Structure formats: C-alpha cells, structure tokens
Structure 1
Amino acid sequence: MFSSPVRTVVVSELDPATPIPPGTTLLDVREQDEWDAGHAPGAWHIPLGELPRRVSELPVEGRILVVCRSGSRSARATAWLEQVGYDAANLDGGMVAWAGAGLPVV
C-alpha cells in the first residue's frame, strides 16, 4: 500500500508568517497522544492507520502537506496519497523540524 520516494518540503521553504501555504492542507498522521502533546495550528489530524478509511475527509483540491514526528510515517502516507490521486508532499523532519524552526505549536 505504501511506497517511496516522495516529494518533500523542508521547513526552511515555509514562510514563518504563514507556514501553511494558501491552498495547502497540513495533515498530521501521528497518533492521538502525539497530537495531544502539540501540533501545528490549523493542521488536520488523521492517524496513519486510519488514513485509508478516512481519506474522503480530505479536500480533493490543493496540496496535502503531510507531517508526523520525524518524517517516516508521513512519507508513507504521502506515497499512498499520491497513488490514490492527491497532490501530496512530505514535510521533511516532521514536527521535530517544525518546532525546531520556531514555527507555532499548540
């Protein structure tokens, strides 16, 4: 179901003022406890194991930028989303890189 390589976005490419680009959905595929510990404002949350069942919740227009803790699970999710027709990219380094760059976490 999942494969690689996938398109990636590095945190340094994001605008600190608006880190989620217009027309982009930030999808966090971490588990609930990881999400509860802190996530990017405005992110959607669908754990990786639920993604095939819940993919219809995602918008079909625009890019899906996928994030997890460090980039591994999100790379698998990105590959799968691309296979089923979404414009998806993986956030390299995940929430570790996001928080490390000083981007907001709630």
Structure 2
Amino acid sequence: MSSIGPGRLDERRADDDVFVLDIRPDSEYQGDHIRGSYNAPVYHDLRDGAVDALDPHLDTLPEQAEIVTVCKAGIVARTATDYLESEGYDATTLTGGYAGWRQYERNTVLYRLAALVRRLAPR
C-alpha cells in the first residue's frame, strides 16, 4: 500500500488525476476539510471492520484518477485504501491524515508569512 505526504498532495491537487476521498464522519468534514474533497462518512464502519461500507460510494469515484484516502490521522484510511485497491482502483493514503494536512497548511502559511515579513522588513 502506498501513501502520499501532505506537501506532495498539495502539489498534485491541481492535477485532474487526483481525487481526495475523506472518510471522516460528516460532522468532522463539515467542520473543515481539504478543499475539493469528497466526503464518504464511513470512518466508524471501516474502523469496525465493515469494509464494504464504501460500496455505495464507488459510483462516485473516478476510475482513471488516483484516489487519496483521508481520515483524522491516516490509520483507518489505510483500510479504505486497501479495499479500493482490491476493487481495482489506484488508491493511496494521506500520511498523517487530516491532522497532518492541517499541520502542513499551518507550516506553509507561517513559512510564507515569515518570507513576506523578511522581504518587507527595512534593511
């Protein structure tokens, strides 16, 4: 099973061949999510071993794109990735899950802000 880091996903999101599948519960997804992602709130089912919980969502998934699965920390998303691969999809898991994504976003914003401050600071 493969995984992708937040930085690499951020670079690849502009491509049409990446589809982000967020499996977190709807309440978590509605609170915040990766822009452009699709929510299939099957986290609890997958955690409890019901891998076929993804079946109702398979028609939504693009067959030609890489599917990146996301949960809170990236652990249960691995189950989704394994299942999707067994169904013939090109799937991978977001390393660190949504928590890793948020940390990446915070670090990226802080880095850009620091660079802007350095550029604008009097010399």
TM over 0.5: yes
On the 8 A contact 1:24/1:62 being kept in 2, the answer is: yes
The alignment covers a number of residue pairs equal to 97
Whichever residue aligns with residue 36 of structure 1, its letter is: Q
Residues 1:58 and 2:51 are matched in the alignment: no
Alignment partners' CA distance in 2, 1:59 and 1:45: 14
Alignment partners' CA distance in 1, 2:56 and 2:65: 20
Task: Name the structure with the higher helix share.
Answer: 2
Q: Structure 1-normalised TM-score?
A: 0.82
Alignment partners' CA distance in 2, 1:54 and 1:91: 19
Residues 1:70 and 2:63 are matched in the alignment: no
Aligned Cα root-mean-square deviation (Å): 1.9
Q: Structure 2-normalised TM-score?
A: 0.71
Structure 1 unaligned segments of length 5 or more: list them: 1-5
On the 8 A contact 1:14/1:21 being kept in 2, the answer is: no
Runs (4+) of structure 1 exceeding 3 A deviation are none
On the 8 A contact 1:64/1:86 being kept in 2, the answer is: yes
- 1:68 Cα deviation from its structure 2 partner: 0.7
Task: Name the structure with the higher strand share.
Answer: 1
Counterpart in the other structure of 1:3: none
Structure 2 unaligned segments of length 5 or more: list them: 46-52, 107-123
Instruction: State the secondary structure of the residue aligned to 1:13.
Output: helix
